[in-house]
């Protein structure tokens, strides 16, 4: 797509990518350690952290239709699909491959240390990750979340990227559906919501659906994002983008109240009540898309946009440090009763360890974005362009 024809960047949505990644890191840490944060304010927010993936799916559908929707016909009658797929893989695959290989190296290193020192590695205990060679191959080809593997494996966070790859393959269908007005967009949103409700009512674990049937969760969220992009397109034509700042702020304030209710008061995690939080997160995509209002202004700040730029690296790099932390806990942490800073070690580590892991994941995500994601993406795009010219 020529640069002159590209839609304007939506700054608030760029910054909004940061929050899901950070919340999912905390959710995974607490899940792996089987505890709920002591703070009453943080507990429900973190225990429902898996629902931030709904925002990612809807955001992905919204952004891709926002960028490529004007070229819908080319995906069926022109040559747009293959360049699109190459561009998406150039964006997604380098960090996926790097983090997959680092997980392999970590397992080999920790297993060798365990054998040399006569203890059981975290990869061979009763609560060991499901790291098998067949699942490694499935991860390598990004099909591990297509109901092909009986559990989360290797870089477990990559189940989401497996679904994103599937959605890329299905994108011509979504972009064809996006050729319509606001009413068709509303119909797509309602269909996606109905699909999510059906999944949440039949899963027995709410919307925490990943390696099994996660692809249907992703398809539903992507449909919601596609419909939202269509509604946004119609709203811009109708002048919604020129509404006063306070009107956008008022709408975002109402949505924040709904989100607070959905997280703290709608019921426990992993139940049918998950739908309320999912609806709030999906609605934020449209509420922020106009780049106006107090929430959008905050997310448009330089710091949030930088975290958003690192968010893919933060999300994909977290499992390396989660599993390394488990090794440290097993072999190097002192007794829980040891006095540290005038407190028992287990009391100190309950807040210090998740904070440390979060900060390390942010730093690691920044490194992955700077030295893996961006350079590899640029290199692959340049190679694809050279091959096209040569052909």
Alpha-carbon distance of 345 to 342, in angstroms, equals 9
Rounded Cα–Cα distance for residues 381 and 377 (Å): 6
Tell me the pLDDT tens digit for each residue of 326-350: 899 888 888 888 887 788 887 788 7
Check pLDDT > 80 for residue 5. Answer: no
The pLDDT tens digits of the residues spanning 232-244 come to: 999 999 998 889 9
Instruction: Tell me the per-residue pLDDT of 284-320, one tens digit each, with 9 for 90 and over.
Output: 999 999 999 999 999 999 999 999 999 999 999 999 9
- pTM here is 0.92
How does DSSP assign 145-162, residue by residue?
TTTTSSS--SSGGGHHHH
Total domains in the fold of the chain? 1
pLDDT above 70: percentage of residues in the chain: 95
Q: Of the ranges 36-40, 225-229, 371-375, which one carries the lowest mean pLDDT score?
A: 36-40
Q: Render the burial of 369-391: b for 16+ CB within 10 Å, e for the rest.
A: beebbeebbeebeeebeeeeeee
pLDDT value for 3? 41
DSSP conformation letters of 161-209: HHHHHHHHHHHHHHHHHTSS-HHHHHHHHHHHHHHHHHHHHHSSSTT--
Enclosing domain of residue 90: 3-390
Cα–Cα dist 264/210, whole Å: 23
| pLDDT at position 34 | 64
How many Cβ atoms sit within 10 Å of the Cβ of residue 331?
A: 14
39 has pLDDT over 70: no
Q: 248-253: list long-range contacts, CB under 8 Å, 24+ apart.
A: 248/287, 248/290, 248/292, 248/293, 248/296, 249/292, 249/293, 249/294, 249/295, 251/287, 251/293, 252/287, 252/288, 252/293, 252/294, 252/295, 252/296, 253/294
Q: CA-CA distance, 154 to 136, in Å (whole number)?
A: 7
State the Cα–Cα distance between residues 289 and 230, nearest whole angstrom.
Answer: 12
pLDDT for the residue numbered 302:
96
| DSSP letter (8 states) at residue 33 | T
In Å, how far are 11, 48, 258, 265 from 262, measured between CA atoms?
Answer: 26, 10, 6, 6
Where does the pLDDT of residue 200 fall: very low under 50, low under 70, confident under 90, or very high at 90 and above? very high
Q: What is the mean pLDDT of the chain?
A: 91
């Amino acid at each position: 797509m020529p640069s002159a024809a590209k839609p304007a960047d939506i700054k608030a949505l760029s910054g909004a990518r940061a929050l899901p990644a950070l919340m999912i890191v905390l959710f995974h840490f607490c899940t792996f350690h089987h505890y709920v944060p002591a703070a009453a304010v943080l507990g429900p927010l973190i225990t429902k952290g898996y629902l931030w993936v709904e925002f990612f799916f809807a955001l992905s559908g919204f952004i891709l239709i926002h960028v490529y929707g004007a070229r819908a016909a080319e995906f069926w009658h022109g040559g747009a699909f293959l360049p699109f797929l190459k561009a998406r893989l150039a964006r997604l695959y380098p960090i996926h491959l790097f983090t997959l290989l680092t997980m392999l190296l970590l397992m080999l290193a920790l297993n060798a240390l365990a054998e040399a020192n006569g203890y059981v590695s975290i990869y061979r205990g009763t609560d060991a990750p499901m790291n098998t060679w067949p699942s490694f191959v499935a991860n390598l080809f990004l099909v591990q979340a297509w109901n092909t593997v009986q559990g989360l494996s290797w870089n477990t966070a990559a189940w989401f990227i497996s679904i994103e790859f599937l959605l890329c393959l299905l994108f011509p269908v979504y972009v064809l559906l996006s050729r319509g007005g606001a009413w068709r967009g509303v119909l797509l949103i309602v269909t996606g919501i109905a699909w999510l409700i059906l999944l949440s009512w039949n899963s027995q674990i709410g919307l925490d659906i990943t390696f099994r049937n996660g692809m249907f969760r992703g398809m539903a969220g992507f449909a919601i994002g596609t419909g939202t992009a269509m509604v946004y397109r119609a709203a811009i034509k109708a002048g919604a983008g020129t509404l006063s700042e306070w009107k956008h702020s008022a709408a975002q304030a109402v949505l924040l109240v709904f989100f607070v209710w959905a997280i703290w008061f709608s019921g426990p995690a992993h139940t049918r009540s998950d739908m309320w939080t999912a609806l709030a997160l999906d609605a934020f995509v449209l509420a922020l898309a106009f780049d106006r209002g107090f929430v959008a202004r905050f997310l448009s700040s330089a710091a949030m946009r930088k975290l958003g730029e690192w968010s893919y690296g933060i999300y994909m790099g977290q499992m390396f440090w989660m599993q390394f932390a488990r090794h440290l806990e097993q072999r190097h942490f002192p007794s829980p009763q040891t006095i540290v800073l005038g407190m028992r070690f287990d009391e100190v580590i309950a807040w210090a360890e998740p904070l440390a892991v979060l900060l390390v994941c942010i730093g690691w995500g920044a490194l992955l974005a700077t030295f893996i994601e961006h350079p590899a993406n640029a290199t692959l795009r340049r190679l694809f362009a050279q091959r096209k010219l040569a052909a």
